[in-house]
């Protein structure tokens, strides 16, 4: 009764993350367009390395992930000693929360930011300060106005998920310049590889130059290794040191490290994936616009469409209609966007099927 073990009081406010749903089994072809996964799968080289390691499951991984760090440093021209690895970038966010947030601290994220930031801040007992956006886009002035002496972390996914919008690098630099040196700016570049804009940069330069910036990247999206859980961060030495103090020694598994190295080296697969995304994202967006849907102007590997509020045509009804027919999309009610759906760029077949069904749903 009343003498059950009591979890930390702040956990009462935590709403568990709701992941994208797998498609319903309809007996026919199904498509998951709900989690921004790579529709082409993963690098064949990564798959081979992973399969070969089935014979080595008794071994612990290299806790320091030296080979993977060396491969990342080579690929991106980085200092390997400033790299940190996580079981997905989520793990890095969690480690940052554990290292920098305690009850009474404030953690800033924008209104439609990736949900994990607020979850982690709440777990730590920190106050989540949610800042308004400008047309679904982070607003630098609004973020800077929200900073107080209690602010410890500012989280910014650039581009953001679920909106797909991004801040030009000049704006990111202006944000950083306005922050006190004691506030850590976390630049989450989960979709960085997909952005082909001259005014965009993921922020590696800021993380190299300043003491209060970390950038994170992931193998979950472009590299198609979401199921293996590998993410990385690039940070100043003292941030790396703090993360290393909270990191569990073997947080990235042995096959995950090896597959990530193989994936990094497989330029043919990443180029094919990028070319596919570039082409299919435009085709999917154009197809949705032709159905009369309004899209948020975004980048990444997904599109966000606004549905009418008319009964029979709403986002919630579209989500259910598609689900029943074997295509899962992402509802955004939990993000305060109940009239929008996020649709990941799928295979050619998947995108065709989604467009055809949505046409039927909208009665076009």
Ligand X SMILES: *Cc1c(COP(=O)(O)O)cnc(C)c1O
94 lies in the binding site for ligand X (CB under 6 A): no
> Smaller CB distance to ligand X: residue 110 or 124?
110
The binder of ligand X chosen from 84, 131, 157, 337 (CB under 6 A): 157
Specify whether the CB–CB gap between 167 and 154 falls below 8 A: no
Stretch binding ligand X (CB under 6 A), from 83-91, 287-295, 312-320, 353-361: 83-91
Per-residue interface string for the shown chain with ligand X, residues 204-223, x marking contact by CB under 6 A: --------------x-xx--
In the complex, the smallest distance separating the C-beta of residue 188 from ligand X, rounded to whole angstroms, is 5
According to DSSP, the residues that pair with 86 across neighbouring strands are: 231
CA angle 341, 137, 139 (to 5 degrees): 150
Helix 315-324 to helix 348-362 angle (10° resolution) is: 120
CB of 226 to ligand X, least distance (A): 5
| 133 belongs to the binding site for ligand X (CB under 6 A) | no
68 membership: H or E segment, kind and range: helix 66-76
Given 49, 61, 72, 90, the residue binding ligand X (CB under 6 A): 90
Query: Using omega within 30 degrees of 0 as the cis cutoff, is the peptide bond preceding 159 cis?
Result: yes
Stretch that binds ligand X, among 87-95, 204-212, 234-242, 327-335 (CB under 6 A): 87-95
Over the window 23 to 62, marking each residue x when it contacts ligand X by CB under 6 A and - when it does not, the resulting string is -------------x--------------------------
With CB under 6 A as the contact rule, the residue among 188, 193, 266, 280 that binds ligand X is: 188
List the one residue from 226, 274, 291, 362 that touches ligand X (CB under 6 A). Answer: 226
Task: Report the distance separating Cα 19 and Cα 167, nearest Å.
Answer: 25
**Interacting residue with ligand X among 34, 50, 68, 89 (CB under 6 A):** 89
CB of 137 closer than 8 Å to CB of 285: no
Element at 92 (helix H, strand E) = helix 89-100
Instruction: State which of positions 258-317 bind ligand X (CB under 6 A).
Output: none
Residue 137 is a binding residue for ligand X (CB under 6 A) = no
Give me the least distance between CB of 9 and ligand X, in Å please.
27
Tell me, by CB under 6 A, how many residues bind ligand X: 14
Which of 124/357 has CB closer to ligand X? 124
- Please say whether the beta carbons of 212 and 96 come within 8 A: no
Running DSSP on this structure, what letter comes out for residue 81?
A: G
Task: Compute the distance between CA of residue 180 and CA of residue 174 in angstroms, rounded to an integer.
Answer: 12
> What ranges make up the beta strands (E) of the chain?
31-32, 83-86, 106-110, 127-131, 151-157, 184-188, 213-218, 231-234, 294-295, 302-306, 327-328, 330-331, 340-344
Please give the residue ranges that form the binding site for ligand X (CB under 6 A): 36, 88-90, 114, 157, 161, 188, 190, 218, 220-221, 226, 231
């Amino acid at each position: 009764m009343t003498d059950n073990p009591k979890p930390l009081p702040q956990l009462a406010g935590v709403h568990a993350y709701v992941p994208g749903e797998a498609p319903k089994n309809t007996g026919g072809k199904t498509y998951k367009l709900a989690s921004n996964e790579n529709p082409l799968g993963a690098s064949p080289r990564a798959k081979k390395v992973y399969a070969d390691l089935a014979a080595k499951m008794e071994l612990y991984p290299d806790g320091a992930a030296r080979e993977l760090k060396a491969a990342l440093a080579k690929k991106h021209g980085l200092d390997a000693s400033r790299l940190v690895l996580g079981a997905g970038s989520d793990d890095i966010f969690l480690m940052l929360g554990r290292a920098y947030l305690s009850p009474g601290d404030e953690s800033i994220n924008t209104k439609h930011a990736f949900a994990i930031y607020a979850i982690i801040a709440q777990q730590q007992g920190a106050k989540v300060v949610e800042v308004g956006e400008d047309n679904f886009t982070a607003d630098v002035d609004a973020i800077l106005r929200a900073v107080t002496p209690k602010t410890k972390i500012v989280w910014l996914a650039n581009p953001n998920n679920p909106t797909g919008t991004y801040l030009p690098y000049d704006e990111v630099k202006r944000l950083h310049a306005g922050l006190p040196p004691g506030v850590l700016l976390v630049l989450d570049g989960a979709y960085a590889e997909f952005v082909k804009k001259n005014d965009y940069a993921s922020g590696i330069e800021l993380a190299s130059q300043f003491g209060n910036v970390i950038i994170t990247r992931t193998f979950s999206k472009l590299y198609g290794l979401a199921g293996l859980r590998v993410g990385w961060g690039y940070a100043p030495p003292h941030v790396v040191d703090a993360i290393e103090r909270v990191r569990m020694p073997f947080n990235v598994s042995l096959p995950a490290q090896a597959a990530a190295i193989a994936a990094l080296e497989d330029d043919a697969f990443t180029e094919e994936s990028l070319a596919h995304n570039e082409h299919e994202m435009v085709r999917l967006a154009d197809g949705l616009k032709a159905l009369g849907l309004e899209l948020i102007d975004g980048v990444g590997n997904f599109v966000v469409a606004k549905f009418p509020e008319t009964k029979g045509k709403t986002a919630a009804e579209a989500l259910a209609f598609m689900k029943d027919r074997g295509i899962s999309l992402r509802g955004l009610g939990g993000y305060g966007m109940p009239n929008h759906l996020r649709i990941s760029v799928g295979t050619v077949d998947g995108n065709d099927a989604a467009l055809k069904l949505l046409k039927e749903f909208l009665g076009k």
